C-alpha cells in the first residue's frame, strides 16, 4: 500500500513576488570519481567528512548523497539503479559556518541544481521487525541504567559494549554495520531511559570478525545476530510490516552540470 504524502520538486520555478529563502553552498565542486567508476576493490570505499565549514564527499554514489542529504536509511530510498553505480567527488562550502541540518538542506539544493534531481516522499509498508522483551525472561536484568556520559558502542575482545543506549537507539543501530539487518527494527520493548549492556559475540577479536563475516555472507551454520540478542538479552524479534517514510527519486541526470 502506498500513500503519497508530499511532492518535492526541488527545481520548481519561483513565481513573481515570491522571495523564498533556500539555503545553498557558496562554493561547490562535483566531479566523477574515476576510481569508483572503473570498479575494483578501491572503488567500494566511500567517505563523507562534515565540518562546520565544509562537506567533503569522496567516491560517493548519488544514492549515498541522497541518503545523507535527507538523513535516511538505505531501505527508505527508492531510486533507479544507476544512482548506486555512478561515483562522484563532491566538495561544498557554505558562506559561513553551518550546522549539519543546514548542510543537509544545502546538499538537497545542490543535488537539485547539479543533477536535476526530483524526488517525492511516500509512506510505504515495508518489512520490519518488532523488537520486544520476552516477558518470561530475566535477561532484562542485563540492561543496567546508564551512568550517563556520551553514547558509545565499542569492541572489547569478542564483545560489543553499549553505553548510554536507549532501546530506540539500539533498534536504529541494528540496521548499520556491523549488524546490517535487512529490515527496519521498531522498538516495542517499553523500556524507557538509557542503558549500559554487553553483547558477547565470540571469544576474541578474530572470532568476532569471522562471525560477522559469516552473517554478512549468510554462510551455512552462521548464527544470526538476532540469536545473540535473544539468547543474551532476552530481546525477541517478530517479522511484520510497518509504515516507513520513504523517498522516491522520480528523475535525475547522471552527468552533473559544470562547476
Instruction: List pLDDT tens digits, range 179-223.
Output: 878 788 989 998 889 999 999 998 998 988 888 888 777 667 677
> What is the rounded CA–CA span in Å between residue 173 and residue 244?
16
**Domain shared by 107 and 7, yes or no:** yes
Q: What mean pLDDT value characterizes the chain?
A: 84
**Domain shared by 56 and 114, yes or no:** yes
**Domain shared by 40 and 102, yes or no:** yes
Note the pLDDT tens digit of each residue in 101-138.
Answer: 999 999 999 999 999 999 999 998 988 999 999 876 55
Q: Is residue 131 part of a domain?
A: no
Number of neighbouring beta carbons within 10 Å of residue 17: 5
Residue 224's pLDDT is what?
82
Distances 142 to 149, 201, 207 between C-alpha atoms, Å? 19, 15, 23
- The DSSP secondary-structure symbol of 11 reads T
**Domain shared by 51 and 111, yes or no:** yes
Pairing of strands 118-133, 184-187: parallel
In this structure, of 43-47, 78-82, 158-162, 204-208, the range with the lowest mean pLDDT score is 43-47
Residue with cell 509498508: 125
**Domain shared by 70 and 120, yes or no:** yes
Answer whether 43's CB lies under 8 Å from 59's CB.
yes
**Domain shared by 184 and 77, yes or no:** no
The number of CA neighbours under 13 Å toward the Cβ of 168 is 4
Task: Write down the pTM of the prediction.
Answer: 0.62
User: First vs last Cα of the chain: how many Å apart?
Assistant: 41
**Domain shared by 87 and 172, yes or no:** no
Tally the residues of the chain. Answer: 259
Q: Is residue 256 part of a domain?
A: no
Confidence of residue 28 (pLDDT cuts 50, 70, 90): very high
Answer whether 255's CB lies under 8 Å from 120's CB.
no
- Residue 102, classed as helix, strand or coil, is helix
The domain of 172 spans 138-233
Q: Is residue 55 part of a domain?
A: yes
> What is the rounded CA–CA span in Å between residue 72 and residue 19?
29
Q: What is the largest CA-CA distance in the chain?
A: 68
**Domain shared by 28 and 50, yes or no:** yes
Amino acid at each position: 500500500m502506498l500513500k503519497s504524502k508530499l511532492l518535492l520538486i526541488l527545481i520548481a520555478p519561483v513565481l513573481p513576488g515570491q522571495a523564498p529563502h533556500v539555503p545553498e553552498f557558496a562554493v561547490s565542486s562535483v566531479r566523477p570519481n574515476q576510481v569508483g567508476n572503473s570498479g575494483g576493490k578501491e572503488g567500494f570505499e566511500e567517505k563523507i567528512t562534515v565540518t562546520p565549514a565544509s562537506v567533503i564527499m569522496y567516491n560517493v554514489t548519488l544514492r549515498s548523497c541522497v541518503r545523507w542529504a535527507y538523513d535516511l536509511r538505505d531501505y527508505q530510498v527508492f531510486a533507479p539503479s544507476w544512482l548506486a553505480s555512478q561515483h562522484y567527488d563532491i566538495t561544498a562550502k557554505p558562506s559561513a559556518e553551518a550546522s549539519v541540518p543546514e548542510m543537509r538542506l544545502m546538499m538537497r539544493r545542490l543535488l537539485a541544481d547539479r543533477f536535476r534531481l526530483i524526488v517525492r516522499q511516500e509512506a510505504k509498508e515495508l518489512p520490519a521487525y518488532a523488537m520486544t522483551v520476552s516477558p518470561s525472561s530475566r535477561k532484562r536484568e542485563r540492561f543496567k541504567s546508564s551512568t550517563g556520559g556520551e553514547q558509545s558502542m565499542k569492541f572489547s575482545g569478542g564483545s560489543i559494549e553499549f553505553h548510554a543506549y536507549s532501546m530506540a537507539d539500539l533498534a536504529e543501530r541494528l540496521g548499520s554495520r556491523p549488524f546490517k539487518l535487512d529490515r527496519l527494527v521498531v522498538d516495542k520493548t517499553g523500556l524507557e531511559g538509557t542503558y549500559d549492556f554487553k553483547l558477547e559475540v565470540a571469544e576474541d577479536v578474530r572470532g568476532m570478525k569471522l562471525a560477522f563475516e559469516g552473517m554478512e555472507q549468510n554462510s551455512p551454520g552462521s548464527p544470526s545476530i538476532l540469536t545473540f540478542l535473544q539468547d543474551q538479552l532476552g530481546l525477541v524479534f517478530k517479522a511484520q510490516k510497518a509504515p516507513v517514510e520513504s523517498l522516491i527519486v522520480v528523475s535525475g541526470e547522471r552527468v552533473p552540470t559544470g562547476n
